[in-house]
């Protein structure tokens, strides 16, 4: 279903709530405003297959943009607002954006983009004026509130965060359906697993330009439920939001768990979290110690899935299964898993290799990058796809992730996976954040280096951290160099920009 259905059934029900202010967008308002925006886009000449891009912080209006695209057969490209003007302009030009909505909070960036992207047909400013942009509210007021007769379903067209170079556009095929008849396969999959229904109150603490927060909010609206959006993640405020809005479901990345676990015990225990039934997490491997600590605190409500922006495949695991198989990301629920060596040969159970998911049809293409698309496909089975993760299967078909292929260290001919070392250090009381990678070594080829951001008020010694690690990992995995920095480069979604540290 879609918001129009619930605008008729429950017009005054909150569709979106901002956690900090309580500002609310009802289903009636979401329907009317998304229809008006859809008509404004159509009046500007945009049609099925064109691209609407958004450059904004987490806004109440974000899902107006989203549903306007979904009911217009458009691609929606939500852009990381931390990028510079030239980086945003690259995405706008690469995606051949037809309309751009920008927040006044990023007026300088938006102005620079307007100068570099003359092919954009419609530019709208939300939240205040931007030179070269029309006023968003005025455009909606002038547009028709009547839904167009033809409403083909759109989809998202998102760009990676560019940790290994230029951002890559992940462009799936458009659905061959209308907004009224489209069946969202991912919503059916996740909705059934996590029990999304009209009574769900879903907390979204991450940036909405990221795939999972954006898509899951859309899934919640397809069942007529409420999305509570945090303007940005804050550990203490997240707990306040769960209590205040009686949140039933939420989604996190492991970095957020670490931040919440490092709150003072009194602060952690002072909130009523009894409404909280499902805490979903994904996006990055979760250290086993962190997950055990979260289950001890919140109870067995943690549910993990492994997927990607590309949506090549999905695995799932709940708390009970994970406690029986610590470290696993579960069994496949979308796409059979194959573990292969660098030449594409399938490996036996227990051996680590590249993780591929088998689908009937390869589900996406990297926009304007056929070579990158081919690189994501198995050399002999083009319907097997990978994002470059390394992992292995156990006898029950449960997947264990080891690390990214790009970050594997080879020292003296031995493979070392940085994730294991990072996980071991993550909960050290003097460590706020950590990254591990390989650096050149004249004899060994590579040696292990760790970069550490110390916890506030702490001044750990490199030797003490090395001693701590010796109790947890093999001696050859101990970093030979440990460097301290003031702040670790991470995206707001928690993704570590390791290439920035590696130079």
Q: Which residue(s) pair with 438 in the sheet?
A: 448
CA distance 332 to 302: 18
Note whether 145 and 40 are within 8 A (CB). no
What is the model's pLDDT at position 162? 47
Q: Residue 430: how many CA atoms within 13 Å on its side-chain side?
A: 12
Note whether 339 and 315 are within 8 A (CB). no
pLDDT less than 70: residues of the chain = 161-165, 404-406, 412-414, 443, 491-495, 503
Dump the DSSP string for 88-150.
Answer: HHHHHHHTT-SEEEEEGGGHHHHHHHHHH-TT-SEEEEESS--TT-EEHHHHHHHS--SPPS-
Neighbours of 85 (CB within 10 A): 17
Nearest to 79 by CA among 174, 171, 186, 208: 208
* DSSP, res 267: H
Q: Residue 378: how many CA atoms within 13 Å on its side-chain side?
A: 24
Nearest to 133 by CA among 120, 142, 146, 150: 120
Residue for token pair 């061959």:
176
Parallel, antiparallel or unpaired: strands 328-334 and 399-404 = antiparallel
Note whether 79 and 89 are within 8 A (CB). no
The tens digit of pLDDT for each residue in 393-425 reads: 999 999 998 876 667 787 766 678 788 888 888
Nearest to 425 by CA among 393, 454, 401, 384: 454
CA distance 499 to 435: 10
Q: Which residue(s) pair with 484 in the sheet?
A: 452
CA distance 502 to 179: 45
CA distance 386 to 379: 11
400: which 2 tokens? 């264990």
Nearest to 222 by CA among 425, 435, 63, 389: 63
Phi then psi for residue 18, to 5 deg, are -85, 125
Separation of first and last alpha carbons in the chain? 47
In terms of DSSP H, where are the helices of 15-128?
27-43, 62-70, 85-94, 107-116
Nearest to 283 by CA among 321, 255, 313: 255
Note whether 232 and 260 are within 8 A (CB). no
Q: Domains of the chain, with CATH numbers?
A: 27-180 (3.40.50.980), 408-502 (3.30.300.30)
CA distance 218 to 70: 10
CA distance 364 to 383: 10
pTM of the model: 0.83
What is the model's pLDDT at position 163? 43
Q: Which residue(s) pair with 354 in the sheet?
A: 340, 390
What is the model's pLDDT at position 161? 58
CA distance 65 to 345: 44
Nearest to 413 by CA among 476, 467, 456, 469: 476
């Amino acid at each position: 279903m879609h918001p129009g259905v619930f605008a008729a059934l429950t017009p005054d029900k909150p569709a979106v709530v901002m956690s900090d202010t309580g500002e609310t967008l009802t289903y009636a308002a979401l329907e009317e405003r998304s229809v008006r925006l859809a008509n404004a886009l159509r009046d500007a000449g945009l049609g099925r297959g064109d691209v609407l891009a958004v450059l904004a912080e987490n806004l109440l209006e974000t899902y107006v943009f989203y549903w306007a695209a979904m009911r217009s057969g458009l691609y929606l490209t939500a852009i990381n607002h931390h990028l510079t003007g030239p980086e945003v302009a690259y995405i706008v030009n690469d995606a051949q954006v037809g309309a751009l909505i920008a927040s006044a909070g990023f007026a300088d960036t938006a102005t620079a983009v307007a100068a570099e992207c003359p092919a954009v047909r419609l530019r709208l400013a939300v939240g205040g004026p931007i030179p070269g942009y029309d006023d968003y509210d005025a455009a909606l007021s002038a547009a028709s509130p009547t839904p167009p007769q033809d409403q083909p379903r759109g989809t998202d067209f998102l760009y990676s965060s560019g940790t290994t170079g230029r951002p890559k556009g992940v462009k799936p095929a458009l659905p061959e359906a209308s907004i009224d008849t489209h069946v969202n396969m991912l919503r059916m999959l996740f909705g059934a697993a996590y029990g999304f229904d009209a009574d769900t109150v879903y907390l979204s603490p991450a940036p909405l330009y990221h795939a999972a927060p954006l898509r899951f909010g859309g899934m919640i609206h397809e069942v007529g439920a409420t999305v509570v959006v945090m303007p940005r993640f804050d550990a203490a405020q997240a707990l306040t939001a769960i209590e205040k809005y009686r949140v039933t479901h939420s989604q996190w990345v492991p970095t957020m768990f670490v931040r919440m676990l490092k709150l003072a015990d009194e602060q952690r225990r002072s909130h009523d979290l009894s409404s909280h039934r499902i805490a979903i997490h994904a996006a990055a491997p979760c250290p086993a110690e962190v997950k055990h600590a979260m289950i001890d605190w919140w109870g067995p409500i943690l549910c993990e899935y492994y997927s990607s922006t590309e949506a090549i495949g999905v695995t799932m695991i709940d708390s009970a299964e994970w406690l029986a198989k610590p470290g696993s990301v579960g069994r496949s629920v979308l796409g059979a898993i194959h573990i292969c060596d660098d030449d594409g040969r399938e490996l036996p159970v227990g051996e680590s290799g590249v993780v591929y998911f088998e689908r009937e049809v390869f589900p996406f293409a990297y926009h304007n990058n056929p070579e990158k698309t081919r690189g994501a496909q198995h050399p002999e089975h083009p319907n097997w796809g990978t994002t470059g993760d390394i992992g292995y299967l156990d006898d029950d078909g449960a997947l264990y992730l080891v690390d990214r292929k790009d970050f594997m260290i080879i020292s003296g001919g031995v493979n070392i996976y940085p994730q294991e070392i990072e996980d071991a250090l993550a909960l050290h009381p003097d460590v706020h954040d950590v990254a591990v990678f390989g650096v050149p070594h004249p004899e060994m080829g590579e040696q292990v280096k760790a970069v550490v951001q110390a916890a506030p008020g702490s001044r750990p010694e490199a030797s003490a951290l090395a001693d701590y690690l010796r109790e947890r990992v093999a001696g050859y995995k101990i970093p030979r160099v440990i460097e301290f920095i003031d702040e670790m480069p991470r995206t707001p979604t928690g993704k570590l920009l390791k290439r920035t540290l590696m130079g």
